[in-house]
Amino acid sequence: MNVFIVEDSEAMRANLRTMLSEFHDVNIVGYSADESAAVEHINTLLPDVVILDLNLESGSGIGVLKNVKKHHAGIKVMVLTNCNDEIYAETCKRAKADFFFDKSFQFMQVREVFAEWARASSAGDRLQDQHG
């Protein structure tokens, strides 16, 4: 599973790298800290998942989300932000974000989603081995 991270905090990028490194099938294909570069890289790399902050060095994560869902609806977008006001969650939901997590208290839920995907992938591999 290819993951692209849109996050302006180096510390948070490092935390995500550390957390995702435990999943052997997760490959971080790139990072960006601003909207235009993120959109360009996502359009080129076509990752399976985008982990997206809303506050960026320039531009907005909402703009990235809307662009991804408009042009690549199959890419999963996981918003991970400190913007915990309900208006942000509603805006992301309307823009078709697949997940919305608050960094301050839901960071480990990101890990749980990846763990669930890993279990599903592993179960699918076993099923394919048995029937393939």
Structural domains counted in the chain? 1
Q: How does DSSP assign 6-59, residue by residue? A: E-S-HHHHHHHHHHHTT-TT-EEEEEESBHHHHHHHHHHH--SEEEE-SB-SBS
pLDDT for 125 equals 52
pLDDT for 124 equals 57
pLDDT for 129 equals 38
Measured CA to CA, the distance from residue 121 to residue 116 in angstroms comes to 9
Domain with 112, as residue range(s), is 2-131
Whose structure tokens read 């997760």?
A: 26
pLDDT for 122 equals 72
Residue 72 belongs to a domain with what CATH number? 3.40.50.2300
Q: pLDDT (tens digit, 9 = 90+) per residue, 5-60?
A: 999 999 999 999 999 999 989 999 999 999 999 999 999 999 999 999 999 999 99
Q: How many CB atoms are closer than 10 A to CB 126?
A: 10
3-state secondary structure of 79: strand
Q: pLDDT (tens digit, 9 = 90+) per residue, 67-124?
A: 999 999 999 999 999 987 899 999 999 999 999 999 989 999 999 999 998 888 776 5
